[in-house]
């Protein structure tokens, strides 16, 4: 479709960036980016005229998205140059050539374009020899100032390393090490966004280890010496997630991995530099309280855990068991499973109906009831009422 419209509109049109890389790697990718030598917004309009769907414009950037009738998003950019002179503001936009567009990208494997015009369909534009780096599984920057221009690229490099099982070449790795201190200049928000993406990928323990090697954690006050322990903890945590799949908090999982190096160095207070959400803070608070808790390791019945752990979220509890490697961990996990669908046989209202005088002691009675339910001693409402008397 795009090819025919390109011919009719008499514009050069290219598939560009991550999608080209993933085509060569034969990996799925729904992020379709195309670049037009000419006006991208006009081209998106042409596509709509030819095939329907709708167009969303982002005029400041001279870009548009064409939403295909099937719902697929296709981002259309004008070949352009972004300047870094005013890093805090929006980039100055200037129409330019395709090779300039490729030059401002991050890595050679992401800086290839495939021409879509019918007469040259499939022609590869690869000024940095990304093909060869794909073959040798190498992440390579385009120039020596790349990480200085944008330190988040270091985190992107690590993401591609783990995802594709690639490695940075020597030069890129040493540039990453030398620019790592720049990481501290980034806003907390940008770091957090990259962490979310990093820890979504397959190998959080490997990612944590790699980031120690590149001195990422150390920039934020984590001790060099906690690398090994962090790696082990992350491995245990990953295993727990795979086995138990706790339903709550899937979204916060990246954060739990992110917290490990700080936790291992006993410096969780340093995480306040990452302007955290309420939920993140609650997790940290839970972890702190759980670390101070005594006596949990002696518990042998699932219900008894409830007295200690009722108010803690699954995620925090799993984080702690993963770290402790406790011998009663099977009982805790069976407690977690049971409490997810624990039936409520009696409420405060029921107690009143049974002739009891309301008061703060209700709380203790209901807790005892929950403990008995979790231990499998009470299995119905009738049994609960009987237990009450």
**194 lies in the binding site for ligand ATP (CB under 6 A):** no
**238-243 contacts: CB < 8 A, separation 24 or more?**
238/204, 238/205, 239/322, 240/318, 240/321, 240/322, 240/333, 241/318, 243/333
The answer to whether 262 touches 195, Cβ cutoff 8 Å, is no
Task: Provide the sign of the torsion angle of the four alpha carbons 197, 202, 205, 209, taken in this order.
Answer: negative
Output the smallest distance, CB 111 to ligand ATP, in A: 6
Stretch that binds ligand ATP, among 77-85, 118-126, 150-158, 231-239 (CB under 6 A): 150-158
The closest residue (CB) to ligand ATP is: 18
Task: Provide the sign of the torsion angle of the four alpha carbons 13, 18, 20, 26, taken in this order.
Answer: negative
Entry field: residues in the chain: 389
Question: How far is the C-alpha of 343 from the C-alpha of 356, rounded, in Å?
Answer: 22
Q: Among residues 75, 101, 106, 194, which is the contact residue for ligand ATP, using CB under 6 A?
A: 106
Stretch that binds ligand ATP, among 104-112, 186-194, 245-253, 273-281 (CB under 6 A): 104-112
**17 lies in the binding site for ligand ATP (CB under 6 A):** yes
**235 lies in the binding site for ligand ATP (CB under 6 A):** no
**126 lies in the binding site for ligand ATP (CB under 6 A):** no
Output the smallest distance, CB 24 to ligand ATP, in A: 12
Nearer to ligand ATP among residue 133 and residue 370 (C-beta): 133
Considering only residues 38-77, where is the footprint of ligand ATP by CB under 6 A? none
**153 lies in the binding site for ligand ATP (CB under 6 A):** yes
The answer to whether 245 touches 190, Cβ cutoff 8 Å, is no
The answer to whether 111 touches 99, Cβ cutoff 8 Å, is no
Nearer to ligand ATP among residue 153 and residue 339 (C-beta): 153
Helix (H) or strand (E) holding 114: strand 113-115
Nearer to ligand ATP among residue 132 and residue 270 (C-beta): 132
Where do contacts with ligand ATP occur on this chain (CB under 6 A)?
17-18, 29, 31, 105-106, 110, 150, 152-153, 156
């Amino acid at each position: 479709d795009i090819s025919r419209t390109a011919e009719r509109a008499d514009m050069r049109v290219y598939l560009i960036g991550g999608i080209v890389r993933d085509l060569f790697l034969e990996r799925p990718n729904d992020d379709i980016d195309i670049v037009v030598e000419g006006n991208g917004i006009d081209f998106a309009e042409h596509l709509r005229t030819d095939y329907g769907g709708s167009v969303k414009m982002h005029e400041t950037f001279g870009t548009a998205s064409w939403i295909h009738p099937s719902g697929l998003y296709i981002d259309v950019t004008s070949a352009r140059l972004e300047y870094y002179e005013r890093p805090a503001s929006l980039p100055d936009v200037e129409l330019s050539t395709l090779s300039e567009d490729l030059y401002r990208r991050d890595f050679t494997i992401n800086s290839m374009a495939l021409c879509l015009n019918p007469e040259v369909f499939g022609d590869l534009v690869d000024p940095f020899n990304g093909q060869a780096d794909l073959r040798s599984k190498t992440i390579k920057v385009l120039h020596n100032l790349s990480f200085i221009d944008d330190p988040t690229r270091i985190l992107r490099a690590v993401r591609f390393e783990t995802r594709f099982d690639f490695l940075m070449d020597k030069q890129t790795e040493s540039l990453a090490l030398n620019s790592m201190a720049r990481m501290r200049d980034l806003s907390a928000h940008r770091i957090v966004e990259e962490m979310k993406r990093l820890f979504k990928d397959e190998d959080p323990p490997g990612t944590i280890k790699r980031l120690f090697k590149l001195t990422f954690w150390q920039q934020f006050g984590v001790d060099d010496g906690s690398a090994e322990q962090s790696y082990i903890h992350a491995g245990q945590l990953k295993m727990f997630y795979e086995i138990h799949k706790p339903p709550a908090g899937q979204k916060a999982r990246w954060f739990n991995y992110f917290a490990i190096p700080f936790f291992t160095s006993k410096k969780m207070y340093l995480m306040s530099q990452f302007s955290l959400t309420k939920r993140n803070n609650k997790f940290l608070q839970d972890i702190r309280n759980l670390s101070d808790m005594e006596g949990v390791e002696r518990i042998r019945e699932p219900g008894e855990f409830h007295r200690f752990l009722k108010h803690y979220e699954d995620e925090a509890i799993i984080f702690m068991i993963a770290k402790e490697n406790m011998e009663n961990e099977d009982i805790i996990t069976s407690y977690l499973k049971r409490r997810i669908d624990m039936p409520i046989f009696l409420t405060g209202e029921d107690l009143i109906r049974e002739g009891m005088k309301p008061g703060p002691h209700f709380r203790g009675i209901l807790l005892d009831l929950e403990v008995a339910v979790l231990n499998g001693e009470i299995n119905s409402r009738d049994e609960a009422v009987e237990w009450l008397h």
